[in-house]
Chain A
Amino acid sequence: MIRIQNLSKSYGKNKIKALDGINLEVKKGEIFGFLGPNGAGKTTTIKLITGILKMDEGNIFVNGMSIKDNPIEVKKQIGFVPDNPEIFNRLTGIEYLNFIADVYEMGKEERKTNILKLSKEFEIEDVLGESIGSYSHGMKQKLVLIGALMHKPPLWILDEPMVGLDPKAAFTLKNMMREHADKGNTVFFSTHVLEVAEKICDRIAIIKGGKIITVGTVEELKNKKHEESLEKLFLELIENE
């Protein structure tokens, strides 16, 4: 579903590479966890996949299409939740969702059904009429999630999605991710919460200093290093580098 080839990116003039030639393949039907310490390059990778940043080198293909050549078509495949949900504070929740629905050309009935269903599941249906500026961090997070999921994109890209969610919403989201992947779709998410990754990911990649250190299923990685918990493995991998 996602194929990342030799991807490099550096910010500004100082040319410190935020990403240094990474290669990655994410398959259909899997939940892929992207792990790494702060500043490793997770958000940068995600911004490149979603077309927010321009890559210096390499290429990214989503469903066989290059983000360079077909940005709009690629973006239509993606439901994206950024790490910081600070968006459009002066719109109300429902206005925001309608805007997103218009952008993804959703019909009236479709958006109605999906918005009502998702906002009930995430328990924010009562505040949809209010200005987003009055939402708490978690409520904004939920709203952006609903916006990203309601148009049923085959690929979910979530940057630290569990941060700021209450336990119940996090649980709901985890179930949704599983359901989504089981239908043959793809979930790509970054996190530093290891136990989440350990429990729900089919495969994970660990990134540090702009380089992929290791990729594989949780089991594979554990076997490789003879470690019983992912946390130990994670710490070891990012320490002994």
Chain B
Amino acid sequence: MSKALSLAKIYISSTYGIKRFFRNLKYNKKDAIKSAGLFFLILLSLSSFFGMMLYSYIRMYDFLGKIDQQGLIVTISIIFASFFTFILGMITVITGYFMNQEGDIILSLPLRKRDILLAKYINSYVTELIASAVVMGIGLGVYGVKSNEGILFYLILVIASLLVPIIPLVLCYLIVIPLMKIGNLTKKKDLLMILSGLLVLPFAIGYQYLINKVLVNNNPQYLIEFLTKQNGLIDVFGRVYYLSILLSKGILGYNTFQGILYIIAFLILSVSFVYLLLILMSKIYYSSIIGGNEINKKYYKLNKSENNKIFKSRGIISTLLLREIKLMNREPIYLLNGPLVIFLLPVMMYFVLLFNKESMKEITVMLSNKDIIKHIGIYGGIIILFLGISTSITSTCISREGKGFYFLKSLPIKAEQLILAKFLHGAIFGAIGGIMVCCLMAYFKIPIISIIIAFLIGNILLFDFYIIGIIIDFKWPKLNWDNPQKAMKQNINPVILILLSMGVMGVSFAVISKIKVPSSVLEMVYIGISGIILIVLYIYIKRNINQMIDNLV
């Protein structure tokens, strides 16, 4: 146990970089500021979501208070928090495999298998705790303040936040470990990583759906029905995950003996789940991480008959472009967080429409709104922009090279050629995203001329953003990494780009609603401005590219 704890400490400090942050604060201010900046940017982008949640809880409390059902707030908070920590847990656990922190060193230490799994579990639990504290805190906080609960309630709130993620996280490990074990046996680790990443998707969509249903709903009558009727949310969830009801009974009756008993029961059950996980999975976990770096050897002799295909010569731009695409799409972590986003959009749309017949209606209603349909070209363009940006292709294009970038610099490749290839890589996937959005627009019977305009606006905007992405990743690259995770997910540059495109979105909404000009004029303005910016950026990058490459040490 104590060994597990000290191992967990190592994991935690290497995952969250807290120690490194404080060290940087002392010796390397620039890096410390960068990590703090990233943290706040992420917080900023989430704050609107939390704000909305807070607002909805307050309203919901008022609705439910009228019929003396405000206790449902507690149950809903627990349901949301359990659900949320489960989704996050899946991502964390899978990511844990990617990070491959075990390395050979830790595996070579005389640690028990059980300690390794427990340490890993604790490491993931820390992330979960933050999520749980936020989700529980908002919901129960509203309940506590509005019902004038005493200090003891908030103590219970803290305890409940600690308890909520334990069991969902155990479930995540129970699901993922066997999958990874199969991945290890079949040596198809990458494929299984991608598959298990996709596994999270339906849950995430379901979660989004619930949030929309419960928090954004305006009809109290309908809401209460949705929550409490037979086969309503609480009924269904209570059946799938009955223990959550146990905890909510405990919290609501926290000042009674019975309530305390419920909480203690939940605690005991949670701990037994962890114990069960350790008993069942320690061995399998160990064998799923050992040899995790082995790749299927598919002895591929260069045989003479295939020579024509194998030794193919290409032009410099196409060979550079091909390299970019292969390096990105073959790294699961890049693929999942990058280009795959484009292909998930239609899948997600499909599920949303499948599960929620009403949203179909809503979309149709929205599209019959004259003010929206009038500017649909611009709206469509901005959706394309958003989708293209979320691939993070150009905003991580230098960071992804990692230490290999130095070698690349030694090759006789012109800076312009390298950058052009990186730009084209983004542009190709941007165009694919654009086509997806256009198909969707066509499905909703939007006039072809608007679709073409949307495609144009979206892609010209994307060109601007792709160049900006390249420039900022040159300015602040993350080249010194030992794990591709760091180039992508601990990189501030894609976040900057996404915030920037949100800015464009905000400005556009303001412009469209405030300034009444014919849509064709506005569309020309959009194309004109983004075109001019494109030219300026082009001139800038052409002038500075050699300098930018030289400045990378």
Contacts and interface: CB of A to CB of B under 8 A. Distances in A.
B506 interface: no
B405 to A, nearest CB: 9
B296 to A, nearest CB: 9
Interface string B522-553: 00000000000000000000000000001001
A50 B410 contact: yes
Interface string A78-95: 101010101110111011
Contact of B407 (A82, A107, A119, A126): A82
A14 B376 CA distance: 56
A206 B295 CA distance: 42
Nearest to B408: A87
A75 B412 contact: yes
B299 interface: yes
B315 A102 contact: yes
A173 B295 CA distance: 29
Contacts of B307: 112
Main secondary structure of the interface of B (DSSP, over half): loop
A192 B550 CA distance: 29
A8 B405 CA distance: 23
A84 B403 contact: yes
B159 interface: no
A95 B323 CA distance: 9
Given A98-B311, A103-B411, A104-B412, A82 B298 contact: no
Contacts of A103: 316, 319, 411-413
A102 B319 contact: yes
A152 interface: no
B406 A52 contact: yes
A111 B302 CA distance: 13
Interface in B266-296: 293-295
Contact of B313 (A52, A87, A92, A111): A111
Given A76-B412, A95-B326, A112-B307, A106 B313 contact: yes
B295 A133 contact: yes
B311 A128 contact: no
Contacts of A134: 294-295, 297
A90 B411 CA distance: 19
A215 to B, nearest CB: 25
A130 interface: yes
Contacts of B330: 90, 131
Nearest to B413: A103
Contacts of A127: 299-300
B410 A51 contact: yes
B312 A108 contact: yes
B104 to A, nearest CB: 13
A115 B311 contact: yes
Q: Which of A52, A80, A90, A94 has the most CB of B within 10 A?
A: A90
Interface string A96-139: 00111111111110011001100100000111111101100000
Given A50-B410, A102-B315, A128 B302 contact: yes
Given A11-B553, A90-B327, A129-B302, A75 B411 contact: yes
Nearest to B412: A75
Nearest to B301: A126
Given A52-B406, A53-B553, A100-B411, A108 B313 contact: yes
A94 B298 contact: no
Contact of B311 (A73, A112, A131): A112
Interface in B402-425: 402-404, 406-407, 409-414
Contacts of A222: none
Contact of A75 (B298, B313, B410): B410
B316 A102 contact: yes
B406 A82 contact: yes
B515 interface: no
Contacts of A126: 299, 301
A72 B311 contact: no
A17 interface: no
A100 B413 CA distance: 10
Interface in A4-52: 11-12, 47, 50-52
Interface residues of A, number: 50
B66 interface: no
B301 to A, nearest CB: 6
A54 interface: yes
A101 B414 CA distance: 15
A125 B412 contact: no
B283 to A, nearest CB: 26
A72 to B, nearest CB: 5
B410 A130 contact: no
Contacts of A111: 311, 313
Nearest to A111: B311
Nearest to B405: A52
Contacts of A71: 412
B314 interface: yes
Contacts of A129: 298-302
Contacts of A119: 302
A130 B407 contact: no
B421 to A, nearest CB: 11
Q: Which of B298, B299, B319 has the most CB of A within 10 A?
A: B319
A131 B295 contact: yes
Q: Which of B311, B312, B315 has the most CB of A within 10 A?
A: B311
Contacts of B314: 98, 102
Given A108-B313, A131-B295, A87 B409 contact: no
Contacts of A128: 300, 302
Interface in B374-432: 402-404, 406-407, 409-414
B323 A88 contact: yes
Nearest to A93: B300
Contacts of A125: 301-302
Given A47-B406, A50-B410, A129-B299, A108 B550 contact: no
A82 B413 CA distance: 17
Nearest to B317: A102
B310 interface: yes
B167 to A, nearest CB: 36
Contacts of B300: 92, 127-130
B149 interface: no
Given A82-B410, A88-B327, A116 B298 contact: no
Contacts of B31: none
A78 B314 CA distance: 21
Q: Which of B300, B302, B403, B409 has the most CB of A within 10 A?
A: B302
B412 A116 contact: no
A98 B312 contact: yes
Nearest to B411: A103
Interface in A215-231: none
B533 to A, nearest CB: 30
8 contacts: A51-B410, A91-B326, A99-B322, A102-B313, A108-B312, A111-B311, A111-B313, A129-B302
Given A129-B301, A130-B295, 10 more contacts: A47-B410, A52-B407, A54-B550, A87-B404, A88-B327, A90-B330, A107-B313, A111-B311, A112-B307, A126-B299
Q: Which 9 A-B pairs have the closest CB atoms?
A: A129-B300, A102-B319, A75-B412, A50-B410, A90-B330, A134-B295, A112-B311, A76-B412, A87-B404
